[in-house]
Amino acid sequence: MTARKLKTVLRALREQKGMTQLQLATKARVAQGYVSALEAGQKKNPGIETLKKLAKALGVPVTELLQ
């Protein structure tokens, strides 16, 4: 998984759900700054637990984040 791909998929899914970064972060129980850094490509390898939290908050399987 590349940072560019994750940031693209994460942002697209979040926007499709009509969520702000803060709403996603709150629902996933991660810091808003972390979501922002992922979408900006500044954070490159989030742990599987973080990916699971984000996927659950977005209502998608983890594999969708890893496309």
User: Is residue 29 over pLDDT 90?
Assistant: yes
> Which two tokens mark 7?
């940031």
Average pLDDT for the chain:
93
Confidence of residue 61 (pLDDT cuts 50, 70, 90): very high
Average pLDDT of span 50-65: 96
What is the pLDDT at residue 1?
58
What global pTM score does this model have?
A: 0.90
Domains identified in the chain and CATH numbers: 3-51 (1.10.260.40)
H helical segments located in 1-67? 3-16, 21-28, 32-40, 48-58, 62-65
What is the pLDDT at residue 25?
98
